[in-house]
Structure 1
Amino acid sequence: MPEILETAMLVCFGLSWPISVVKNIKSKTAKNMSLRFILLIVVGYIAGISAKIILGSFNYVLVVYVLNLAIVSINIPVYFINKKYDKKLALYKKEAA
């Protein structure tokens, strides 16, 4: 039962990450993104994965942790791409002024 509840929690969190990635890609700005927050979530998932490995608990919950980590990690390059868009836009606005 604990594994089922843990999986439910991970699935609930996990469903929000693809939505976040798509939103961040479409927005083409890093203004509403926080690299610190993204990295904090990544570290949390790594800690959860490490705990499962240390306990030798190789089951479907570990798969969900890894999937969530992969999806959240997509936001890291998106953040830097969006920062470049922000810099280009700021430069364009400065030149246009």
Structure 2
Amino acid sequence: MSSEIFEAGMLLCFGCSWPMNITKSIRAKTAKGKSLAFELFVLVGYICGITGKCISGQINWVFAIYILDLLMVATDILLTLRNRRLDKRKEAAQ
């Protein structure tokens, strides 16, 4: 049980940054300063964690935090892609 608490703590610490990133992406409407590669690596990391939970049969309350974090990262990736399109439109209009 204690290992689950530490795993959840790690996920919550990582997960705290994503709402801030999402808010920044929405407000800024630019992808400047964002790394799509970084976001994709993080997404793959969460997928690996989820897969590990499934393979080991340890589907518990911590699994929900993995899913929440994965959804936030995916949201930020979609916003980054949207903002890249907005950046291209701005550059084309100049």
Aligned to 2:15: 14
Counterpart in the other structure of 2:48 = 47
Q: Unaligned 5+ residue runs, structure 2?
A: none
Larger Cα-atom Rg? 1
Shift of 1:92: 2.3
Ranges in structure 1 where 5+ consecutive residues have no aligned partner: none
The corresponding residue for 1:83 is 84
Give aligned pairs, total. Answer: 93
Q: 2: CA distance between counterparts of 1:85 and 1:58?
A: 40
Paired residue secondary structure (2:70): helix
One-letter identity of the residue aligned with 1:81: R
In structure 2, give the amino acid aligned to 1:65. Answer: Y
C-alpha separation in 2, matches of 1:3 and 1:30: 35
Identical aligned residues as a percent: 43
Quote the Cα distance in structure 1 between the aligned partners of 2:11 and 2:78.
23
Give TM-score scaled by structure 2 length: 0.94
Local SS of the residue matching 1:83: helix
Give the Cα–Cα distance (whole angstroms) in 2 for the partners of residues 20 and 76 of structure 1.
10
Question: How far apart in 1 are the matches of 2:21 and 2:39?
Answer: 11
Tell me how far apart the structure 2 counterparts of residues 58 and 88 of structure 1 sit (CA, whole Å). Answer: 44
Residue identity opposite 2:64 in structure 1: V
Cα-Cα RMSD: 0.8
Task: Show structure 1 runs of 4+ deviating over 4 A.
Answer: none
Q: Quote how far apart the aligned CAs of 1:68 are.
A: 0.3
Q: Distance in 2 between matches of 1:80 and 1:5?
A: 33
TM-score (norm 1): 0.91
> Counterpart in 1 of 2:70?
69
